[in-house]
Amino acid sequence: MDEMLLLRHGETEWSRTGRHTGRTDVPLTAHGEDQARTLAPLVKEGGFGLALTSPAQRARRTAELAGLPEYEVDPDLWEWDYGGYEGVTTPRIRESRPGWYLWRDGVPPGDTEHPGETAAQVGARADRVIARAKAAEGRVVLVAHGHLLRVVAARWLRLPPEDGRLYKLETGTYSRLGFEHGEPVIVTWNAPLNGT
């Protein structure tokens, strides 16, 4: 692998309003679709030996609007399963859990569709994605979600999954992970293109 291009999906109504969106399959807003289209110059660079996207429609639609011609859906790229906090905003959670912080405090179990995950479980999924990426030829592109991609970055740097908290990531942005002198580095992080 030469480099890993990370594309965070465009805006959804839930991301715009700060609702935790794990496995709930919400669509992009019109602004989110515009954000996805602005990512096209990055996709046109080509050379992808591996292109993966989350199963969520917001990620797949971002890939399509950005012009990614072919990709494989990888369930390991689903967003963090927020369990009982699915669809809930941080301020609302803090009404009953003052000072709650996802990266430190985790999530309670939810229903059968949202059982919840620990940071370690998200980290294990990120590790599998990274292993696939490292085995690929050329460039790799991942189209996925904010918290999941932050965990990918932490694991890329050989840090604990919880250290994803250090990397803020907005919708419709791109990041690049690569190497310097054979060691993993962040080359670009949370970078917007025109229109985001």
Is residue 145 part of the annotated active site? The answer reads no
Strands 174-180 and 3-8, bridge-based pairing = antiparallel
Q: How does pLDDT run across 67-121, given as a tens digit for each residue?
A: 998 999 999 999 999 999 999 999 999 999 999 999 999 999 999 999 999 999 9
Q: Residue 50: its pLDDT value, please?
A: 97
Query: Within a domain: residue 91?
Result: no
Is residue 114 part of the annotated active site? The answer reads no
C-alpha separations of 171 from 13, 99, 175, 176 in Å: 11, 25, 11, 15
Contact 39, 6 (CB under 8 A): no
Catalytic residue selected from 11, 79, 117, 162? 79
Q: Based on the number of CB atoms within 10 Å of its own CB, is 61 exposed (0-12), middle (13-18) or buried (19 or more)?
A: buried
Q: Residue 193: its pLDDT value, please?
A: 83
The CATH code of the domain that includes 32 is 3.40.50.1240
pLDDT, averaged per 10 consecutive residues of the chain (196 residues), comes to: 96 96 96 97 94 98 96 98 97 97 96 95 98 97 98 98 97 97 97 72
Token pair in block for residue 126: 């990120």
Query: Within a domain: residue 86?
Result: no
Q: Residue 196: its pLDDT value, please?
A: 47
Q: Residue 69: its pLDDT value, please?
A: 86
Query: Within a domain: residue 50?
Result: yes
